[in-house]
Every structure is written in C-alpha cells, then in structure tokens.
Amino acid sequence: MYRDQTRFLIAVDCIVFGFDGEHLKILLVKRALEPEKDKWSLMGGFVKPGESLDEAAQNVLNLNTGLKGVYLEQIQAYGDPLRDPIERTLSVTYFALIDIHKYETQINDEYHAEWFLLKDMPQLIFDHDEMVETAKRKIRYKAALHPILFELLPKKFTIPQLQNLYEDVYNTQIDNRNFIRKLTSTGLLIKLPEKDKSGSKKGAFYFKLDKKKYKANFQAFLNLIPKPDKLVMG
C-alpha cells in the first residue's frame, strides 16, 4: 500500500457572501479553538472520513449557520506547510452565495456568526485574508461572465436592486438603460405583477429568475459589466 507516506489534516474554509441591498458583505465567525481562539475567522472545519469536499463544505456551512443547499463553489487549495502554526493543514476554500435577508436574524440569534462589510472587515487568522482576496477576485471574474450574482438575491427582486449589486461588486456606475436592455435580452428574467414600494414612491416591479433558462444558459457568456477589459481579473 502507500506506506511511508505522510498523512495531513484537511480543512475546508468557506467565504460566505451576502448582499444587503447596498453592499456586499461577508459572514465571519469567532474561532472556537486554540490557537487564535476568539479571533475572527472564516467558517471552516476539518474534513471527516466519508465526507467528500463538497459535503464537508455544506456541513461546515450548516453547522455554523443552519443553512442548507447553499450555492457553493470550490475556489482553491492552500497548502503552504506553515499556514497553520500548530500542525500542517491543507485548506480547500469554497465561496458561498446566500440571500442575506432570508437568514439574517436566524444567524445572529442561534449562531455567533456576523456579517461585515467587505470594506471594514476585521483582520482574520492565518492566511484567511489572502483567501478572501482571492475569493473576491474569483467572484468578480466569474460574475462578469455568468449569472451567479442572482444567488445573492431573494426569489423576487427588482432591477434597481440587481444593478446596485453589480455596481457594488465592480465598484462602478452602470447606465441603467443599457443595463436593463442587456438584462432583458438575456431572457433570464420574468416580470411579476407586484411592485416593491420600499425603495421609492413609484415602486419597482419585481422579477424572478427563469430557472430553466438560468440552468440552460449558465455557461453562456454575459456582458452586463461595461468594458470588463479594464477590470483586473484573474
């Protein structure tokens, strides 16, 4: 068999993004064990026998927040020998996109996770800050071409909400007429008869995703961001 080979701890760490209508946020927890106990950290956990990586990530998320069936995507494996000072641990990172409103209270009550604006999040333990940077790059890169940001919104959402989201993710201003035209040309949206009156007197129509088209066209290239060439991607 594979004698004489070293075995290592394997962890998954989740970068959980949410959107409050204005800004992208990240969900952090206070680390429960030494070292660095009570410092802010990504939510993570060790992979257990019998768990695949994807399952481990879903379990970590469920344990820390109570959420199930969340949109998760593997980002990268981090294997620096010294990244965990106690014992060498390989970490596989995932990003998670969740509808912040649906779970906001639940999270704060039952669990001790907390949302932070990306701009003023605290420093994290180990190499977690680097992981967050990579996750931010990855989400920008991917969302420039694929409609993943819908995962951050409720089932019913308005176009101004969506535009705010894109504007925050790319830190840019988007012309609303062009944005709407491109958006409707994708055929991904279904207009609902109701309006959201919370944002303005006139109210904005709700839309929902056309699930079938969403799944069928997920790999197709979008171009909702003007001149993505100027953005630094990677």
Partner DNA sequence: TCAAAAGTGTTCGAATTACACCCATGG
Partner DNA sequence: CCATGGGTGTAATTCGAACACTTTTGA
Which lies closer to a copy of itself via its Cβ, residue 8 or residue 116? 8
> Least CB distance from residue 103 to a copy of itself, whole Å?
27
Among 30, 37, 48, 101, binds a copy of itself (CB under 8 A): 48
Side by side, the strands of the sheet bearing 40-41 are: 40-41, 24-30, 113-117
Which lies closer to DNA via its Cβ, residue 62 or residue 184? 184
Which lies closer to DNA via its Cβ, residue 106 or residue 176? 176
139: number of Cβ within 10 Å = 21
Tell me the number of residues near DNA by CB under 7 A. 22
By rule CB under 8 A, what string of x and - marks binding of each residue 84-113 to a copy of itself?
Answer: --xxxxx-x---------------------
- Judge contact between 182 and 224, C-beta under 8 A: yes
Interface of this chain with DNA, residues 142 to 201, rule: CB under 7 A: 158-160, 175-178, 180-182, 195, 197, 199-201
Q: How far is residue 149 CA from its own chain's centroid?
A: 9
**Paired tokens of 13:** 């760490």
- Judge contact between 223 and 207, C-beta under 8 A: no
At 96 the three-state DSSP class reads: strand
Q: CB under 8 Å to 137, separation ≥6 — which residues?
A: 233, 234
- Judge contact between 74 and 53, C-beta under 8 A: yes
Nearest Cα residue to 35 out of 79, 87, 86, 90: 86
Q: CB under 8 Å to 105, separation ≥6 — which residues?
A: none
By rule CB under 8 A, what string of x and - marks binding of each residue 210-229 to a copy of itself?
Answer: --------xxxx------xx
By rule CB under 7 A, what string of x and - marks binding of each residue 111-130 to DNA?
Answer: --------------------
Which lies closer to a copy of itself via its Cβ, residue 49 or residue 193? 49
Sign of the CA dihedral running 136, 16, 123, 169: positive
- Judge contact between 51 and 11, C-beta under 8 A: no
Interface of this chain with a copy of itself, residues 125 to 164, rule: CB under 8 A: 145
Among a copy of itself, DNA, none, the one that 200 touches (CB under a kind-dependent 5 to 8 A) is DNA
Q: Which residues bind a copy of itself (CB under 8 A)?
A: 1-2, 5-10, 46-54, 56, 74, 76-81, 86-90, 92, 145, 218-221, 228-229, 232-234
Q: Which residues bind DNA (CB under 7 A)?
A: 158-160, 175-178, 180-182, 195, 197, 199-205, 223, 226-227
